[in-house]
Structure 1
Amino acid sequence: MNPDNENTTNTLPAILIGAPRNSGKSILTYNLSQALRQFQPPDDIPHYVFRANTDGEGDWLFEASPEEVRQLRIKGEWTDEFRELVRRDIARRLVPIIVDIGGLPGEKDHGIFSACTHSILLIKDDAKDTIQTWRNFITAHGLTPLAEIRSQLSGPSVITSQENDPVITGSITFGQERQERIYGIAFDALVKCVTALFRSYPPDELERLHRKTEPEGFEIVRLHQHLNELLPTAREWSTNLLEPLCSKLSPQAQLAVYGRGPVWLYGALALYSKNEPFRQFDPRYGWIEPPHIRSGSPVAGSETVVTLEPRPSGSKYMILVRPKIPEHYYLDYERDAGQLVFPDPPSECGIIVSGRLPLWLFTALARFYAQKNAPWIALHDASMNRAIVVYSRVAGYTIGKRVPLPG
């Protein structure tokens, strides 16, 4: 595998999930990823979900409240620049990925297909022409089909393929609500298939690859190892594990964080060593540092629009910082990190950072507002529908405390 060189063949799996519109492809993507996350070290399955769309369909779409979904979701059309950045990031992936793409592919989308290795296709009886277009693209770029599954809202989930058939066929029944989990024999077969494919690249082999570029002089925080040591039965981080984790770290160390974790965990670790350098591993870019954010007023017409929404909270005020990424825009670390401008917060106001943001922007904003001496800072975790305090210099807002969003 050669993920660090875009001009060579990247053999890490990139499974493209395609479907006509409103077929359940994002629901399937979410459920597949959640199923893969159930495996614990050393049998865990490192992977990343790359959502190659501009409509803001992330995990929060299935985990946040309906009101939060309404506020965070952004619709947009694809641009040539967007397509090229998507193709580039898929091509240089550093872990196995699931690529969430929907609608009807067009002539400008060939590059995205060429960056993938396998496909899962959801089919519908009333979209035969669309399905054939998908098949043509998959065949043209030599993707290995893993499954063609009929999407349905009712009826039993079945498998029509035989055990040794190269392509899984059958039907999956989706619930009436996005938040409903998928069950059934066809979904189980998909999980088994994807698990076997992704496990052909063992976690220790991937980690050795990533260690080659680890930043020197940093204390590497391997989240999966720490979680297994702190609570072997846990599959995900909870706020009560934050203090025990920090007790294992050197107070003045330069931290470099590796592994899957919620935004509030990364934010707390980014602030743990105060102003010391901090690094985080990104499955698209590798080891990166949170960008330096400049103080000021965003220029009218700039790509990133920041809204500040003061809401009363007891006798104090909190500020909800929800950056809005415009339609037709792909927020790219390499292009945009050095151009971010955010206004200074009002004095003595707590800060909640929310929005459909990349992890590196959450950590950058946490450090930015800590340097501005905010009394406390919380990062919004959509799965909890709460903001989690990651920094505080006042009583009443301890690190790890859940803060309801102003409403």
Structure 2
Amino acid sequence: MDAINLLPAILIGGPPHSGKSVLAYSLSQVLRARKIAHYLLRAAPDGEGDWSQVMEGDKVHAIRFKGEWTAEWVRIVCRDLAARVMPLLVDIGGKPTADQMTIFDQCTGAILLTPNDEEAARWRERVALRGLPIIADLRSTLEGESKLQPSASGELRGTLSGLERGQGIIGSAVLDALVERLASIFAFSEAELARIHTAAAAPADARVVRFDDMLRRMYPNDGLPRFRPGDLDAILADVPAHEPIAAYGRIPAWVATALGARRDLRWQFDARLGWVRTPRFTMSSFVTRPASAAGLAFHLAQTARDRVQLNVSKTEYYLDYGAMNGLHVPYVSAKMHVTVNGPETPGGGLPLWVFAALGHVYRNCASVWARQAHER
């Protein structure tokens, strides 16, 4: 008998262009600021992600990645939902088919965002068929006032106005009420989950480095702190140089790459997969194993006498960690400085274990640096 995962997974459902991705992004930002542990899982290959909320609109449309729903995609999403290691917000597609409804079965509740009563009824029926309780049933409008509505059912009801990409809805009474509801469901604090992840579940062959704690020490007065490139020397000074480490907490791509190149970054905590061992890539002038088999493609270009740029793109939206080990990547001479550019694709770009693996494989080059699209 399969074990039951007691961590919540809250589906955000509604038709296309109803503002689901804006709502999901806004919820995640407020929850992060309140240190409520969660992960936002983009469960549809439709090209939306945090990057689409922080980039200019014309560029978003130019780079939007339209993946395809496949049986393998649905299988992997369901697998990762079932094995979740954090409370989840699940941003799902606007037109789920019967096969895709199996994703609903891995969720524990639903937030509905629809433009009218007809769509609301359609989505209420979908979640009812899978036995999901409705946490909030909200209407989406481009104009007008956001407001809460009385409800005797226990569901949160109201109208959200102005859900436009890049605008966010911070400060809305409806959003605040929804965050409070989620806070009561996502019962674990960041500190509590971190203790679980870094104690009994942590790798035994490496020292756990808590980058969330490091960040708070460096920026104690910042409500939503982020590492800055100028922090790299201080970060490396705070990380053991002569023993394997296991990285826990949010870090940017350039930190993961530097740790892969200049420290023994053996493990990383992935909010989707839990603890994963950093894959090992191999440099090759003749790529005998196509990168596309793992969902990645590489383009190497020389930008100066001693500098090259490696552009990494996705051929699959949802990368399979199990296909990564032993991947062949372009050969680069040790005298060259390497800049790795993550893909201008959805979902925040590449998993950090890819950047760590690239840092490790190019560790003997003159230098190696990396950045996601939204970090440029």
Q: TM-score, normalised by structure 1?
A: 0.82
> Do 1:159 and 1:186's aligned partners in 2 also have CA atoms closer than 8 Å?
yes
Does residue 144 of structure 2 align to residue 149 of structure 1?
Answer: no
Give the AA of the match of 1:46: A
Distance 1:208 1:99, change over 3 A: same
Q: Could you give the per-residue CA deviations for residues 105-141 of structure 1, whole angstroms, max 9, x where no partner exists? A: 221123211110011000112x72x443322221122
State the Cα distance separating 1:232 from its structure 2 match.
Answer: 1.2
State the Cα distance separating 1:174 from its structure 2 match.
Answer: 2.3
2:250 paired residue number: 260
> Do 1:53 and 1:101's aligned partners in 2 also have CA atoms closer than 8 Å?
yes
Match of 1:250 among 240, 244, 265: 240
1:27 paired residue number: 22
Q: Distance in 1 between matches of 2:339 and 2:234?
A: 25
Q: SS state of the match for residue 37, structure 1?
A: helix
Distance 1:63 1:377, change over 3 A: farther
Q: Could you give the per-residue CA deviations for residues 175-217 of structure 1, whole angstroms, max 9, x where no partner exists? A: 54x111214221121122112221x223344234322121124
Q: Distance in 2 between matches of 1:271 and 1:172?
A: 46
Distance 1:301 1:95, change over 3 A: closer
Q: Which has the higher contact order (CA 8 A, sep 6+)?
A: 2
1:94 paired residue number: 85
1:295 paired residue number: 283
1:358 paired residue number: 351
Q: SS state of the match for residue 324, structure 2?
A: helix
State the Cα distance separating 1:231 from its structure 2 match.
Answer: 2.2
Q: Could you give the per-residue CA deviations for residues 194-245 of structure 1, whole angstroms, max 9, x where no partner exists? A: 12221x2233442343221211242211122222222211222232333333
Identity %: 34
Q: Distance in 2 between matches of 1:272 and 1:295?
A: 18
> Do 1:17 and 1:120's aligned partners in 2 also have CA atoms closer than 8 Å?
yes
Give the AA of the match of 1:24: G
Q: Could you give the per-residue CA deviations for residues 3-26 of structure 1, whole angstroms, max 9, x where no partner exists? A: xxx921111110100110011111
Match of 2:303 among 309, 312, 315: 312
**Where do 1:179-258 residues align within 5 Å?**
179-183=166-170, 184-198=172-186, 200-210=187-197, 211-234=199-222, 235-239=224-228, 240-258=230-248
State the Cα distance separating 1:289 from its structure 2 match.
Answer: 1.5
**Where do 1:8-407 residues align within 5 Å?**
8-39=3-34, 44-65=35-56, 69=60, 72-125=63-116, 128=118, 130-162=119-151, 166-176=154-164, 178-183=165-170, 184-198=172-186, 200-210=187-197, 211-234=199-222, 235-239=224-228, 240-273=230-263, 276-296=264-284, 297=287, 299=290, 302=293, 304-308=295-299, 310=301, 312=303, 316-326=306-316, 330-334=318-322, 336-338=323-325, 340-345=327-332, 348-355=336-343, 356-370=349-363, 373-384=364-375, 386=376
Gaps of 5+ in 1: 1-5, 387-407
Give the AA of the match of 2:18: S
State the Cα distance separating 1:250 from its structure 2 match.
Answer: 2.3
Give the AA of the match of 2:141: Q
> Do 2:227 and 2:251's aligned partners in 1 also have CA atoms closer than 8 Å?
no
Q: Distance in 2 between matches of 1:135 and 1:180?
A: 28
Q: Could you give the per-residue CA deviations for residues 356-390 of structure 1, whole angstroms, max 9, x where no partner exists? A: 322221221222222xx332222223443x2xxxx
Q: Distance in 2 between matches of 1:293 and 1:309?
A: 16
Indicate the RMSD between aligned Cα atoms, in angstroms.
2.5
> Do 1:161 and 1:167's aligned partners in 2 also have CA atoms closer than 8 Å?
no
Aligned residues: 363
Q: SS state of the match for residue 362, structure 2?
A: helix
Distance 1:96 1:300, change over 3 A: closer
